[in-house]
């Protein structure tokens, strides 16, 4: 056995991936006295068979087993594993691992970069300890495994999955430890998409027909039909990689259609679907090389194609985001920065925030975008906020100090009225922006005149600026959404909840003036209401990058939208009115377009049929205004007939419907239940005392 040799053993069924994998291996730093072998294993019947074949054919002491679509991005990988293997008790090193055996396996240790074609695959459940060089695990993930002892690989299931579990068990049975090192920056990139063992293979099977249909439309260049299917699939959060890639292509096509250039990337004119997919993968590989700062002749080729207009900025932006989780390096490498900077009005409402307003202001002042007016509306703070604001001498800051506190809607509207910029960006007194947020959003909006709103993904932070996404899972996942057309967003907002992070928004001021500012009657859902109205004026884009840090205080009483019985009741009141007024104001055609596929009567088309659909939609949502709408409809003979004949709701049916509880305040119901519970307890105590008195 050669103790100075490292063998990289790769099971291969795709030479494109294998060649890309080898590029990264050949760039690794190798200690002077060591040699490296790269072994390509083809036509194996299982991963275990392939790895055993490579193991038996190599005399190297150290063996690295990796997938063909795993790229080792840590140039010092060999030095790092050799350092860990100085400990003779350690038999295997992974990049992700599980501290407990479970079914399914819950991966909870390590770090990894991955190709993510559609939405955020959250790696936050993977924990690390910077104070430890490595952490012991019971099972190591399969994508990249290094060993210093040869333990035969054992097959499991169909031979292509879970072999790493058996290897981990056998390695530990032989008396060796399995560890995952601390990785400040992930040591590898997996291009196949990072999927946990919780993946349902039955679900994958179910998606194959959909993937085949989408590919067929792609082949025939029927992008309109493709777009329609992609829009419907976006609601379902499809996990199939092939479908997600096609949905990404549909999004790129939609953005290119809406851009000023209106030029499509040349892969859309490919008459061969396989060529299109190869082109798309080639682009992903080159963008990765740019992102990892590697020398590559293909980068110059990409520059030429971009310069000639053969690949759009929308395509580069989307592909870099799904590959790298950001859109920085390729954008800087391939495009010149905009010379013109239209004025952006930043509106910040402040109230009693002397300890944190400076952080928010500095994140605005440190933007790479300079042409801003920063309108700071202090809503009659009674702490030292005024002094903190006035301490900043930047001429772009326009402070306004209100004499009376009237809350965020009043203060926000004052800022909107003062705004002179082409765009208006909001930030709370406790939120923080990434330094290139405004630059990216303005660039996008300038290129896409049909888009009036631009948001970004956000991290949730606490009082101390620490990441608290895990503790705020629901809101965090909503703020990290995909991109849908405005009509889909309107329906999603009406049927679900708010998905947009207010301090991440950049708005076209013209659209803000058209839609109207905050409604003074609202204080819980003023942003939600504003988004719904703005969506009537144009499209919305979400940068799938965390350009905003949204602060939520864990100390009770500090958040404007504090979650308690009082605010939940007010939330319910405001939501009822917003839904009623919004749906009531919709034209028949708007309602039919937005709720297409969800109508009670799929053939509804006439004005009065749509009125009945609206009333039923409100009623099913428990909306308190639905009864008023029904009362008015039932006074109209034609509407009465439509309700009875087309919807099965005659007068007696309505009378019966109206006997059912329709209390829309969940919190009020909770209060009533709690009081009834206490009342029952008191009654039992009284009975008990009466019994005692009788006995005495």
Mean pLDDT value across residues 502-520: 97
Mean pLDDT value across residues 604-613: 96
* Residue with more model confidence, 678 or 96: 96
Residues in the chain, total: 696
Coil, strand or helix: which one is 377?
A: strand
Residue 204, pLDDT > 60, answer no
Whose structure tokens read 């990796």? 66
Q: 3-state DSSP helix/strand/coil percent for the chain, to nearest 5?
A: 45, 15, 40
Cβ(546)–Cβ(456) below 8 Å:
yes
Cβ(505)–Cβ(425) below 8 Å:
yes
Q: Is the torsion defined by CA of 314, 317, 322, 323 positive or negative?
A: positive
pLDDT digit string (tens) for 286-345?
999 999 999 999 999 999 999 999 999 999 999 999 999 889 999 999 998 888 899 999
Mean pLDDT value across residues 344-355: 96
Q: What is the DSSP letter of 93?
A: E
What CATH number has the domain spanning 344-563?
3.90.550.10
pLDDT digit string (tens) for 420-448?
999 999 999 999 999 999 999 999 999 99
Cβ(481)–Cβ(545) below 8 Å:
no
Question: Looking at residue 662, what is its pLDDT?
Answer: 66
Beta-carbon contacts of residue 252 (< 8 Å; ≥ 6 apart): 265, 312, 314, 315, 318
* Gap between the Cα atoms of 38 and 605, Å rounded: 66
Name the residue among 197, 198, 154 with its Cα closest to residue 173.
154
Strand extents, DSSP E, 351-469: 372-378, 397-401, 423-428, 432-433, 451-461
Residue 402, pLDDT > 60, answer yes
Coil, strand or helix: which one is 530?
A: helix
* Gap between the Cα atoms of 406 and 404, Å rounded: 6
Helices of type H across 373-495: 385-390, 408-418, 437-447, 473-479, 486-495
Whole-prediction pTM value?
0.88
* Residue with more model confidence, 19 or 555: 19
* Gap between the Cα atoms of 10 and 68, Å rounded: 6
Q: CA 49: distance to chain centroid? A: 38
Residue 563, pLDDT > 80, answer no
Q: How confident is the model at residue 197 (pLDDT cuts 50, 70, 90)?
A: very low
Cβ(315)–Cβ(327) below 8 Å:
no
Residue 119, pLDDT > 70, answer no
Fold of 2-190: Spore Coat Polysaccharide Biosynthesis Protein SpsA; Chain A (3.90.550)
Q: Is the torsion defined by CA of 42, 45, 46, 52 positive or negative?
A: negative
Q: How confident is the model at residue 228 (pLDDT cuts 50, 70, 90)?
A: confident
Cα Rg, the chain, nearest whole Å: 30
Whose structure tokens read 């790696």? 123
* Gap between the Cα atoms of 11 and 51, Å rounded: 7
Beta-carbon contacts of residue 131 (< 8 Å; ≥ 6 apart): none
User: Over 197-226, what HEC string results?
Assistant: CCCCHHHHHHHHHHHHHHHHHHHCCCHHHH
Beta-carbon contacts of residue 671 (< 8 Å; ≥ 6 apart): 565
Question: Looking at residue 559, what is its pLDDT?
Answer: 62
User: Over 278-294, what HEC string results?
Assistant: HHHHHHHHHHHHHHCCC
Q: How confident is the model at residue 245 (pLDDT cuts 50, 70, 90)?
A: confident
Pick from 31-40, 290-299, 592-601, 666-675: least confident: 666-675
pLDDT digit string (tens) for 64-94?
999 999 999 999 999 999 999 999 999 999 9
Question: Looking at residue 263, what is its pLDDT?
Answer: 87
Omega of the bond prior to 104 within 30 degrees of 0, cis?
Answer: yes
Cβ(570)–Cβ(531) below 8 Å:
no
**CATH 3.90.550.10 boundaries in the chain:** 2-190, 344-563
Name the residue among 52, 68, 65, 57 with its Cα closest to residue 16.
68
Cβ(611)–Cβ(633) below 8 Å:
yes
Mean pLDDT value across residues 656-679: 70
Q: What is the residue-averaged pLDDT of the chain? A: 89
Question: Looking at residue 393, what is its pLDDT?
Answer: 93
* Residue with more model confidence, 250 or 53: 53
Residue 120, pLDDT > 80, answer no
Question: Looking at residue 99, what is its pLDDT?
Answer: 94
pLDDT digit string (tens) for 162-177?
899 999 999 999 999 9
């Amino acid at each position: 056995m050669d103790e100075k040799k490292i063998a990289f053993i790769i099971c291969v069924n795709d030479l494109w991936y294998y060649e890309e994998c080898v590029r990264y291996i050949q760039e690794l730093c190798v200690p002077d006295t060591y040699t490296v072998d790269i072994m390509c294993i083809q036509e194996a019947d299982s991963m275990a068979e392939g790895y055993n074949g490579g193991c038996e054919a190599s005399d190297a002491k150290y063996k690295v087993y990796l997938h063909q679509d795993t790229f080792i991005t840590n140039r010092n990988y060999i030095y790092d594993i050799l350092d860990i293997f100085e400990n003779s008790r350690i038999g295997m090193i992974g990049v992700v691992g599980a501290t407990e055996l479970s079914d399914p396996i819950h991966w909870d240790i390590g770090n990894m970069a991955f190709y993510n074609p559609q939405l955020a695959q959250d790696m936050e459940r993977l924990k690390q300890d910077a104070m430890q060089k490595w952490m012991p695990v019971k099972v190591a993930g399969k994508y990249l495994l290094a060993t210093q002892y040869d333990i035969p690989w054992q097959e499991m299931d169909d031979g292509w999955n879970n072999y790493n579990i058996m290897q981990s068990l056998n390695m530990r049975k032989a008396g060796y430890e399995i560890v995952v090192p601390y990785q400040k920056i992930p040591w590898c990139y997996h291009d196949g998409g990072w999927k946990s063992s919780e993946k349902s293979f039955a679900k994958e099977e179910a998606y194959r027909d959909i993937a085949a249909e989408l590919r067929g439309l792609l082949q025939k260049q029927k992008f309109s039909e493709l777009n329609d299917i992609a829009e419907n699939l976006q609601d379902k959060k499809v996990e199939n990689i092939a479908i997600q890639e096609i949905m990404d292509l549909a999004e790129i096509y939609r953005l290119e259609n809406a851009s000023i250039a209106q030029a499509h990337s040349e892969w859309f004119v490919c008459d061969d679907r396989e060529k299109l997919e190869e082109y798309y993968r080639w682009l992903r590989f080159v963008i990765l090389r740019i992102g990892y700062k590697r020398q590559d002749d293909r980068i110059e080729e990409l520059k030429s194609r971009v310069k000639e207009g053969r690949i759009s900025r929308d395509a580069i932006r989307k592909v870099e985001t799904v590959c790298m989780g950001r859109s920085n390096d390729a954008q800087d490498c391939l495009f010149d920065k905009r010379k013109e900077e239209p004025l952006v009005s930043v509106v910040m409402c402040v109230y009693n925030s002397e300890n944190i307003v400076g952080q928010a202001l500095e994140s605005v002042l440190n933007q790479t975008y300079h042409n801003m007016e920063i309108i700071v509306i202090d809503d009659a703070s009674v702490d030292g906020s005024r002094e903190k604001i006035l301490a900043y001498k930047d001429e772009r800051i326009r402070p306004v100090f209100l004499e009376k506190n009237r809350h965020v809607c009043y203060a926000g509207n004052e800022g909107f009225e003062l705004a002179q910029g082409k765009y208006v960006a909001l930030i709370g007194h406790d939120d923080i922006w990434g330094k290139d947020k405004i630059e990216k959003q303005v660039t996008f909006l300038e290129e896409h005149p049909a888009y009036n709103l631009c948001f970004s993904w956000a991290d949730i932070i606490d009082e101390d600026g620490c990441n608290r996404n895990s503790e705020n899972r629901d809101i965090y996942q909503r703020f990290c959404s995909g991109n849908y057309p405005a009509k889909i967003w309107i329906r999603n907002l009406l049927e679900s909840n708010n998905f947009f992070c207010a301090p991440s928004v950049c708005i076209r001021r013209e659209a803000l003036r058209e839609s109207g500012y905050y409604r003074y009657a609202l204080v819980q859902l003023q942003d939600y209401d504003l988004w719904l109205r703005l969506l009537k004026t144009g499209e919305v884009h979400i940068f799938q990058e965390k350009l905003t840090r949204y602060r939520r205080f864990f100390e009770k009483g500090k958040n404007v939208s504090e979650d308690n019985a009082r605010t939940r009741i007010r939330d319910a009141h405001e939501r009822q009115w917003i839904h009623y007024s919004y749906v009531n104001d919709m034209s028949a055609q708007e309602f039919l377009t937005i709720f297409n596929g969800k109508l009670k009567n799929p053939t509804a088309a006439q004005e009065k049929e749509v009125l009945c659909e609206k009333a039923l939609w409100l009623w099913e949502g428990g909306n308190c205004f639905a009864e008023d709408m029904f009362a008015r409809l039932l006074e109209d003979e034609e509407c009465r007939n439509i309700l009875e004949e087309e919807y099965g709701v005659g007068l007696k049916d309505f009378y019966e419907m109206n006997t059912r509880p329709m209390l829309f305040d969940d919190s009020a119901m909770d209060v009533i239940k709690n009081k009834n519970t206490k009342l029952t307890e008191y009654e039992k105590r009284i009975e008990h005392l009466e019994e005692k008195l009788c006995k005495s």
